[in-house]
Amino acid sequence: MAELSFSNLSKQFDGVAALDSINAQITSGEFVALLGPSGCGKTTLLRLTAGFEHPSAGEIQIGGHTVAGAGQFVPPEDRGVGIVFQSYALWPHKSVYANVAYPLEVRRVPRAERQARVAEALSLTGLSDLAQRMPSQLSGGQRQRVALARCLVFDPRAVLLDEPLANLDLALRASMQEVFSMFHRRTGATMLYVTHDQGEALALADRVAVMAAGRIRQFAAPEVLYREPVDCFVAGFVGDGAVVSARCTGQTDGARLVLNVLGQEVLSRSATPEPSHVSIRPESIAISEDAPLRARVTGCTYLGGQFRLTLDTAGETLVAFARQRARIGETVGIRLQDLWAFRDPGGVITMQRALAHA
Ligand SMILES: Nc1ncnc2c1ncn2[C@@H]1O[C@H](COP(=O)(O)OP(=O)(O)OP(=O)(O)O)[C@@H](O)[C@H]1O
């Protein structure tokens, strides 16, 4: 398995930037998700990595070797990467077995070794009993597992997946996520996984690159994106909650800042001494009758075990979790705690622009 590296990578189509100076290192064996709204450049980054497109500028390395840029271009078939598409892209007239064996035939792998490797790939993806079926006789999830087996059979240096679950229904998506996790654990493959589904990205990936308008806004572990977003876009795009403006009024002995948020003094975590906004996750809001900040309940949904409330206060919409059902229109007291503050001048406007670019 190999590491992937992007340096100052840009791609323009008809003078319009689809990717704008991407810099990222993906370590060998890492599972990375590219997450962002439609049109942010996820698929373009994947296609450049696969070799289906030439970069306009910058460089791509796979396993320490330059495959695009710096005057070089290695064609897709020589990059040693496996690709799994949303549309499965199986040979319709070949059986499951023949589909999975195909990459080895192309590489002229001897018959005995071919049989052993196909059997192993089919077993790993739970397809051994379906080897003789034709693609038309399979469910969507089974077809996607064939695509996975076909890509794993030739020991690719990296596996690129372009929205592989987009065509499947919700229940199947959840079980296929398990298949991808298991595949990753057992093969240790370097995986680059494109999705616009944040649940999928946060559940599957070691790290997530959140993209907007051709740029990577933050590249971090899911829990870091959730707890410590760098700007309004990431805070709003990843996870539930609200982003509101904040003003620093003091600092405590520790690294915590005293901020004025919605007219209240609140202690916050922050990486910067001059934040402009806070991310308020649902678990940062405690419902408490004696709390000074009052909010009107505008929505209440049962999630199983708890309720999700939407609350209106000082012109902002917040999201909170509650043990008890609340009545729409009633007023409750809320206390803010453990907020994360960051600096993003022009914040919410930038976020709207990033989404409008989609
Ligand atoms: N072949 C092309 N010719 C012209 N423009 C293109 C081409 N491919 C992509 N683009 C443009 O580049 C931008 C990025 O597209 P890309 O497909 O990478 O986005 P994406 O994040 O994968 O979106 P989606 O989630 O909708 O697939 C878009 O504005 C798109 O219209």
**pLDDT tens digits for range 219-260:** 999 999 999 999 999 999 999 999 999 998 887 766 788 999
For atom 12 of ligand 1, the residue with the nearest CA is: 18
**Mean local confidence (pLDDT), 165-183:** 80
Task: Give distance in angstroms: CA of 231 to centre of ligand 1.
Answer: 24
Cα(first)–Cα(last) distance of the chain, in Å?
Answer: 33
Same domain, 306 and 327: yes
Same domain, 174 and 254: no
Rounded to whole angstroms, how far apart are CA atoms 213 and 39? 7
**If pLDDT is split at 50, 70 and 90, which confidence band does 348 have?**
low
| Closest ligand 1 atom, residue 358 Cα | 29
Ligand 1 pocket, residue 141 CB under 6 Å? no
Ligand 1 pocket, residue 60 CB under 6 Å? no
**If pLDDT is split at 50, 70 and 90, which confidence band does 308 have?**
very high
Task: Give distance in angstroms: CA of 17 to centre of ligand 1.
Answer: 10
| Closest ligand 1 atom, residue 14 Cα | 4
Q: What is the pLDDT of residue 169?
A: 77
> Percent of the chain scored above 90 by pLDDT?
65
- Write the CATH number for 331: 2.40.50.140
Same domain, 185 and 296: no
| Closest ligand 1 atom, residue 357 Cα | 29
Enter the pTM of the model.
0.89
Position 142: which residue type? Q
Q: Which residue has the higher pLDDT, 245 or 156?
A: 245
Ligand 1 pocket, residue 238 CB under 6 Å? no
**Mean local confidence (pLDDT), 14-22:** 95
Ligand 1 pocket, residue 125 CB under 6 Å? no
Q: Which residue has the higher pLDDT, 209 or 155?
A: 209
Ligand 1 pocket, residue 43 CB under 6 Å? yes
For atom 11 of ligand 1, the residue with the nearest CA is: 18
Structure ipTM over 0.95, yes or no: yes
**pLDDT tens digits for range 37-96:** 999 999 999 999 999 999 999 999 999 999 999 889 999 988 989 888 877 788 899 999
User: How many folded domains does the chain comprise?
Assistant: 2
Same domain, 332 and 302: yes
**Mean local confidence (pLDDT), 143-163:** 88
Task: Give distance in angstroms: CA of 62 to centre of ligand 1.
Answer: 23
Reduced 3-state DSSP string for the chain: CCCEEEEEEEEEECCEEEEEEEEEEECCCCEEEEECCCCCCHHHHHHHHHCCCCCCEEEEEECCEEEEECCEECCHHHCCEEEEECCCCCCCCCCHHHHHHHHHHHCCCCHHHHHHHHHHHHHHCCCHHHCCCCHHHCCHHHHHHHHHHHHHCCCCCEEEEECCCCCCCHHHHHHHHHHHHHHHHHHCCCEEEEECCHHHHHHHCCEEEEEECCEEEEEECHHHHHHCCCCHHHHHHCCCCEEEECEEEEECCCCCEEEEECCEEEEEEECCCCCCEEEECHHHEEECCCCCEEEEEEEEEECCCCEEEEEEECCEEEEEEECCCCCCCCEEEEEECCEEEECCCCHHHHHHHHHHCC
Ligand 1 pocket, residue 54 CB under 6 Å? no
Same domain, 37 and 167: yes
Same domain, 44 and 99: yes
Ligand 1 pocket, residue 42 CB under 6 Å? yes
Give the position of tokens 């005057």. Answer: 71
For atom 6 of ligand 1, the residue with the nearest CA is: 13
**If pLDDT is split at 50, 70 and 90, which confidence band does 350 have?**
low
- Write the CATH number for 14: 3.40.50.300
Q: What is the pLDDT of residue 292?
A: 86
Q: What is the pLDDT of residue 273?
A: 84
Give the position of tokens 């803010």. Answer: 336
Ligand 1 pocket, residue 17 CB under 6 Å? no
Full residue range of the structural domain in which residue 155 is found: 4-227
Rounded to whole angstroms, how far apart are CA atoms 61 and 77? 15
Ligand 1 pocket, residue 38 CB under 6 Å? yes
* Structural domain ending residue among the three candidates 192, 207, 227: 227
**pLDDT tens digits for range 29-38:** 999 999 999 9
| Closest ligand 1 atom, residue 211 Cα | 21
CB distance 118 to 97 below 8 Å: yes
Q: What is the pLDDT of residue 86?
A: 77
Task: Give distance in angstroms: CA of 358 to centre of ligand 1.
Answer: 9
Q: What is the pLDDT of residue 351?
A: 59
Q: What is the pLDDT of residue 352?
A: 59
Same domain, 178 and 93: yes
**pLDDT tens digits for range 64-73:** 999 999 889 9
Look over the chain and give the mean of its residue pLDDT values, rounded to a whole number.
Answer: 90
* Structural domain ending residue among the three candidates 180, 196, 227: 227
**Mean local confidence (pLDDT), 132-142:** 90
Same domain, 255 and 131: no
